[in-house]
Amino acid sequence: MLRRIAFICLSLLSTVFSLHAQKQQTPNVVIIYADDIGYGDFSCYYPQNKVKTPNVDKLAKESLRFTRAYCTGATCTPSRFSLLTGQYPWRQTGVSVLAGDATALIRSDRPTLASVFNAAGYQTGVVGKWHLGLGDDRGPDWNGQIQQCPNDVGFTYSYIMAATGDRVPTVYVENGRVVNLDPKDPIQVSYKEKIGNEPTGRDNPELLKMKHSHGHDFTIVNGVGRIGYMTGGQSARWIDEDMADVFTQKAVQFIQNNQTKPFLLYFATHDVHVPRVPHPRFAGKSGMGPRGDALLEFDWSVGEILQALEKNGLSKNTLVILSSDNGPVIDDGYQDQAVALLGDHKAAGPLRGGKYSIFEAGTRVPFMVKYPRKVKPGVSNALFSQVDLVASLAALIGQPSPAQARDSQNHLPALLGKDKKGRSEVLIHTQSGNSLAIVEETWKYIAPSKGPKMSAATNTELGNNPQPQLYNLKTDVYETQNVAEKYPEIRERLEKRLAELRGN
């Protein structure tokens, strides 16, 4: 009898231990995805810059910090599409900056990063900016249950804004329902014609607390002119100043709620996208205007997330990635003094171009990985693309990568610092000029494109050129010397390779 009891006790103990071990084996993943933060914005990437981001600095010290990680496009929707689907944005038509009432780009039959994690028993949350469309072909039903929302593509929890801070509708959507909506005051949205009687930036500029510099002159909400017309939904409208607080709190709550279960959290901040209307506790604090203040606000959000992991005893077993969806832009359509107060700050660090550009600053972004159990802090020059997160993170949790994630390569060893090389080549794309480029360890080839050379509105060099461009990134990271004619055999090789990959 005694032996029997001892045996039962022992086997119970071993089950408990193995469950515990299992729990430890299964890492949580948190992706902190910034909006429009440039390669040089943090001093860990460009020490000459002086904006104080202590939480990001601390994270960088504890992380493997990549110097050559790319998003797939120089704007938001394309990069986010790739991050979640493992496919390049140009493979599917319509993957470009979406309107706030656009239908869903990713439909429920499609595997995503979230569904891969969900299939492995993870809780999967998205908090923040979505910008991948909502609703079926009839469009999103703002006043009912929205179809084809994040919960239909693998997320078990979602608290999002549909598109961007500067696009209507200016409301939060939780699990497919607009938050705080009064059914007696339904929301109507149009990007084609004026709807309702609310003032617009075009007709009533005197009502604006922040004027537009280009675009952004439709319905005024909270003193800010937006893109698109909206009426109704008064009780549901967000207050821009509180947005970082709201999203951060929801993300922290998600971590707390799931502290005993494995989870994936995709935390997509609104900072530092326009309109830059940070909370009063950050406003004016950077000395660099609202863009600098929004960087402080972003840093605060990062601190809160890391602290939530720490408080719940999850820091060691959580892989945290911090990155951005495209390069920096200073004037993106509002007169927020970002240009006037920029001073010496170089948002792109040593790189040329910025958001919208095929030059390096458009898509080479900050990227760091903290995972105390497996990743030794340091710097990695491995080539990495965000399109690889699906396959690499699937490998991390022992799941197969979906066949539809056709462009996603498993570079988990690079993420963990075991492989110093990463990808052999990275493809990047921009909407302006529909240009494509291929980047290797040394060479970058930009295919000829007809788009404009400059965006006058944002003052960005777009990199479009009807002639082929070839740059040696090792000796000329600022892409000043086009050596396409000097090295015809390299140009031809990359031209061919690009065509091959494109047609694949």
| Amino acid residing at 28 | N
Question: Using the rule CB under 5 A, is 323 a contact of Ca ion?
Answer: no
Q: Which stretch binds ligand NG6 (CB under 6 A): 120-128, 209-217, 365-373, 435-443?
A: 209-217
Residue with tokens 């801070």: 165
Cis-peptide, bond into residue 275, ω within 30° of zero = yes
Phi/psi at 66 (5° precision): -90, 135
Q: Please, which residue, 295 or 391, has the CB nearer to ligand NG6?
A: 295
Q: Which is nearer to Ca ion, 431 or 435 (CB)?
A: 431
Rounded-to-integer distance, Cα 136 and Cα 398, Å: 32
80 binds ligand NG6 (CB under 6 A): no
From 32-40, 58-66, 137-145, 428-436, span contacting Ca ion (CB under 5 A): 32-40
Of the listed pieces 16-24, 70-78, 143-151, 258-266, which binds Ca ion according to CB under 5 A? 70-78
Q: Is the dihedral of CA 100, 105, 107, 111 positive or negative?
A: negative
Q: How far apart are CA 187 and CA 171, in angstroms?
A: 10
Smallest distance from the beta carbon of 325 to ligand NG6, in angstroms? 6
Would you count residue 36 as binding Ca ion (CB under 5 A)? yes
Q: Tell me the β-bridge partners of 66.
A: 367, 380
332 forms part of the interface with Ca ion (CB under 5 A): no
Residue among 326 and 435 whose Cβ is closer to Ca ion: 326
Q: How far is the CB of 275 from Ca ion (least distance, A)?
A: 13
Listing DSSP states for 440-468 in one string gives: -SSEEEE----S-SEETTTTEE----SS-
> Between 159 and 334, whose beta carbon lies closer to ligand NG6?
334
The footprint of ligand NG6 on residues 255-274 (CB under 6 A) is 273-274
Give yes or no for a contact between 329 and 166, defined as CB atoms under 8 angstroms apart.
no
Verify cis geometry, omega within 30 degrees of 0, for the bond prior to 272.
Answer: yes
**Which class for 48: exposed (0-12), middle (13-18), buried (19 or more C-beta within 10 A)?**
exposed
Stretch binding ligand NG6 (CB under 6 A), from 198-206, 211-219, 280-288, 397-405: 211-219
Q: Is the peptide bond before 140 cis (omega within 30 degrees of 0)?
A: no
In order, the DSSP letters of 271-309 are: TTSSS----TTTTTSSSSHHHHHHHHHHHHHHHHHHHHH
The minimum distance between CB 75 and Ca ion, in angstroms, equals: 6
131 binds ligand NG6 (CB under 6 A): yes
304 binds Ca ion (CB under 5 A): no
At 440, the amino acid letter reads E
The binder of Ca ion chosen from 29, 31, 32, 35 (CB under 5 A): 35
Shortest gap between Cβ of 356 and ligand NG6 (angstroms)?
8
Looking at 124, 164, 248, 318, which residue binds ligand NG6 (CB under 6 A)?
A: 164
Is 36 one of the binding residues for ligand NG6 (CB under 6 A)?
Answer: yes
- If one asks whether residue 386 binds ligand NG6 (CB under 6 A), the answer comes out as no
First to last CA, the chain: 68
Spatial separation of the C-alpha atoms in residues 363 and 145, rounded to whole Å: 35
Among 28, 53, 72, 75, binds ligand NG6 (CB under 6 A): 75
Regarding 76 and contact with Ca ion (CB under 5 A), the answer is yes
What whole-number distance in Å separates Cα of residue 257 and Cα of residue 125? 11
Query: Interface with Ca ion includes 325 (CB under 5 A)?
Result: yes
227 torsion bin: left (phi>0), alpha (psi -120 to 50), beta (else): beta
Least CB distance to ligand NG6 at residue 218 (A):
10
Nearer to ligand NG6, 326 or 385 (CB): 326
Q: How far is the CB of 203 from ligand NG6 (least distance, A)?
A: 18
Site for ligand NG6 in 329-348 (CB under 6 A): 332-333
Q: Please, what sign has the CA dihedral across residues 382, 302, 85, 161?
A: negative
Cβ-closest position to ligand NG6:
215
CB–CB of 406/340 below 8 Å? Answer: no
* Binding interface with ligand NG6 (CB under 6 A): 35-36, 75-76, 97, 131, 164, 166, 214-216, 227, 273-274, 326, 332-333
Please report, as ranges, the residues that interact with Ca ion according to CB under 5 A.
Answer: 35-36, 76, 325-326
